[in-house]
Copies of this chain bind each other. A is one copy, B any other.
Amino acid sequence: MPNDRFARTPKPPYYAAVVAAQRTSGDRGYGATAARMTQLAASMPSYLGLETARDETGFGMTVSYWRSGASIRHWKQQIEHKVARERGNADWYDHDELRVAKVERTHGRPG
């Protein structure tokens, strides 16, 4: 059965921000900021949901869903998010990568 780890997205098309990231070791304030960023993203009108998993090595995949590619740009420019990403680059991530992709079709529950 689906659980609340799955995002309840509408029918395509919509956009996905696919982030792969390798965490550094230790929390160093990461958990609190990550929770705040999730809350902040969810407050944006174009946000559709988020799915994320991180394994015991600190490697994680986070995919957030948005109504448009422009709304992902807007989220990237959001000032508090920008400050958090700068902190991320300095302290929390060894490396991270973002891909912006247009969801065209789905199988299983989404859409």
- A: which residues have CB within 8 A of B? 1-3, 5-7, 9, 12, 15-16, 18, 20, 22, 51-57, 59-63, 69, 94-111
Contact = CB atoms under 8 A, between A and B. Distances in A.
Contacts of A5: 20, 22, 57, 59
A104 B102 CA distance: 7
> For the complex, would chain A's binding face be called helix, strand, loop or mixed by DSSP majority?
strand
Copy tally for this chain in the complex stands at 2
B108 A96 contact: yes
Given A18-B16, A103-B101, A95 B6 contact: yes
Contacts of A107: 97-98
B110 A95 contact: no
A69 B104 contact: yes
